[in-house]
Amino acid sequence: MLLNKFTSAVKTSWKGLCLTLKHLFAARHSRDVKNIKSSNYFEQQEGVVTVQYPHQQLPVPEVGRYQLDVEIDDCIVCDLCAKICPVDCIEIESIKATEAIGQTSDGTVKRLYAAKFDIDMAKCMYCGLCTVVCPTECITMTSQYDVSVPKMTDLIYPFAEMTPEEIAEKRAAFEKQQAEKQAAKEAALRAQKQQE
């Protein structure tokens, strides 16, 4: 019984060694990186399969889902991308403007400032839902996939361009406008009561 176990162990080890040696001698040359669309993509049967990154790179599909990017000038701060995100990796903070502040590239009127627009790519599951739901198509997926960083916090990308001083100024202007509207309403109510 002990002899059978020993024999089985030697046979198994020998098979593994033979397989390793076979791959070792076949690895004298590497396969060429070819596009998946090329006609002879599956014809290469010999050679090392490992891609020698970064000297070689696999072809990136046109519909690949990789790094998110936001064109903040086209963003109307509608918050739809943050609402649809299943992992809450998009954090948006908006400030209402006192008037229309411009237009996006597709002609949509902008009425909100983006005080904060952060995407945490460490949480992102690359589903692409945020890109589908965006009405102005300002959020897109790029072909960049190599995002190695030393700290996880480096994967939080801020896209808002407002400084803390600008944020405070815009909030104060909106609050002042709201206070003026409220005062005008109260004055109109007092005037209406005096007429009665």
Tell whether 63 is covered by a domain: no
Q: Which residue has the tokens 């960083």?
A: 149
Tell whether 181 is covered by a domain: no
Q: Residue 132: which domain range?
A: 68-164
Q: Is the pTM of this model over 0.85?
A: no
Tell whether 196 is covered by a domain: no
The tally of domains found in the chain comes to 2
CB 109 within 8 A of CB 143: no
Q: For 95-117, write each residue's pLDDT tens digit.
A: 888 888 888 888 888 989 999 99
With a cut of 90, say whether residue 56 has pLDDT above it. no
CATH, residue 137? 3.30.70.3270
As a whole number of angstroms, the distance between CA 87 and CA 127 comes to 10
Residues paired with 84 in a beta bridge: none
Together in a domain, 44 and 19: yes
